[in-house]
A and B are shown apart, each in its own frame.
Chain A
Amino acid sequence: MENKIDARGLSCPQPVILVQKALKDGALSLEIIVDNDVSKENVIRFAEGKYSMKTSVAQDGNDILLKITK
């Protein structure tokens, strides 16, 4: 199941809450776009720390694309 979340312009903790909801709903992998480093750090800390997921980061201009996988 592939999930995409656009969290640009949202401030913490909203991006993390969106990721939490998606993972709770059973998403095995997801992509999330954020636009600030705080959200990036928080999403990575959450996904890796609480769900033992792998994350990869790609920068595209002002957007930061995070891929979260098992």
Chain B
Amino acid sequence: MKTRFKNFFSTKYGILTAGSIIGLIAVMLVRFGNPANMGICVACFLRDSVGALGFHRAAPVQYMRPELAGLILGSMLAAFLAKELKPRGGSAPLVRFFLGFFAMIGALAFLGCPWRVIIRIAGGDLNGLVGLAGLVTGIFVGVLFLKSGYSLGRTRAQTRAAGLIMPILSVVLLVFVIFKISPSENAPLFFSSGGPGSKHAAIAVSLLAGTIVGIVAQRSRFCTIGSFRDIFVIRDFHLFFGIAAMFVVILVYNIFTGNFNLGFESQPVAHSFHIWNFLGMGLSGIAFALAGGCPGRQFIMSGEGDNDSVIFIIGMGAGAAFAHNFQTAASGAGPGKFTAPAVITGIVVCIIIGTVFSRSKTRGV
């Protein structure tokens, strides 16, 4: 029975089901209180969580999002049941840190991770299309490197304990948010009183939703970056069916509930500076492709015990803190003061990483 279940989510119907479930959960989370067109956005949620811990002080975006703990724990559970819990790591950690760092710089110039790109377009936000164009372009650049031999080197198996670090950390942070742990007033945890950070579903709902997505995504390997990458590399549309199903479910829901607003202007948590929407997601696309997956997928792999993904996530967290502390993050009003230099620096760094690790033939090591 278990093997049949295992096979199901890796089939065409399986990935379609997975995408549909993730789409359904995204719209349900908005219904239960999450920000509009942001049912489940991994980059946004990580940024909010980093803010809740006080690593940045942007008041509207501070909340410890239980969905992230759910993603990790759900993935760990599914991987454990399928005997896929494989602690591993050691593939160019510092490079992955900076890929994560700049992936977040790009995501916050656009305002969303690739999952939110889909969610925004399905809500009628045409800025999302500009972001998607950037994302696909970025992934294409990443694929060029992959095809010319890009590799960060092999991972190695690690002890079982190493694979438990991220799940344990997520439980600790869950305890923090449940008991609102704080040493004194005006100290973390911070909770936004206005803005996107103030909008959230109840903790139990968020945790459950995240856990279901974690399980489904672990079994199906659902990944937005992989979707486009596989089309470019091997003309394979398998993963793409997943994001297509997610898109259709959200679109249908939005149309039937009157939440579909087509246009560029007045979209929730979005801006219409096309160049930065394009280049922001373009930067993210390259960084995610070079790191092997979208932020959602990185969280899923971290639950399976992949410590390279953990390093990438920590890099994204640092990127989020930097982005708000140094005003490289955009807001609904437009790009921040330093969005332009940060995004351009990121693109240059990613291209250097891609070039260097294509030439060094790490593959054979």
Contact = CB atoms under 8 A, between A and B. Distances in A.
A45 B9 CA distance: 13
Nearest to A49: B236
A11 to B, nearest CB: 5
Interface residues of B, number: 26
Given A8-B154, A10-B151, A41 B236 contact: no
Contacts of A13: 146, 226, 229-230, 233-234
Interface string A14-38: 1011001000000000000001111
Contact of B86 (A12, A36, A49): A36
B192 interface: no
B170 interface: no
B10 A41 contact: yes
Contacts of A46: 234, 236
Contacts, number: 53
Interface in B124-177: 146-147, 151, 153-157
Contacts of A36: 84, 86
A11 B292 contact: yes
B13 to A, nearest CB: 14
Contact of B157 (A10, A37, A62): A62
A4 to B, nearest CB: 14
Nearest to A19: B234
B221 interface: yes
A41 B229 CA distance: 16
A35 B157 CA distance: 10
A52 to B, nearest CB: 14
Contacts of A38: 221
B1 to A, nearest CB: 17
Contacts of B229: 13
A9 B233 contact: no
Interface string B340-365: 00000000000000000000000100
B234 A50 contact: yes
A24 B179 CA distance: 58
A30 to B, nearest CB: 16
B273 to A, nearest CB: 33
A16 B233 contact: yes
Contacts of A35: 86, 157
B91 interface: yes
Closest 10 CB pairs of A and B: A9-B154, A9-B155, A11-B292, A41-B10, A37-B84, A13-B233, A46-B234, A38-B221, A14-B151, A10-B154
Interface of B: 10, 82, 84, 86, 88, 91, 146-147, 151, 153-157, 221, 226, 229-230, 233-236, 238, 292, 308, 363
28 contacts: A8-B154, A9-B88, A9-B91, A9-B153, A9-B154, A9-B155, A10-B151, A10-B155, A11-B155, A11-B292, A12-B292, A13-B226, A13-B230, A13-B234, A14-B146, A17-B146, A17-B147, A35-B157, A37-B82, A37-B84, A38-B221, A41-B221, A45-B10, A45-B236, A46-B234, A46-B236, A62-B86, A62-B157
Given A12-B292, A13-B233, 12 more contacts: A9-B88, A9-B153, A9-B154, A9-B155, A11-B91, A11-B155, A13-B230, A16-B233, A35-B86, A38-B221, A45-B10, A46-B236
Interface of A: 8-14, 16-17, 20, 35-38, 41, 45-46, 49-50, 62
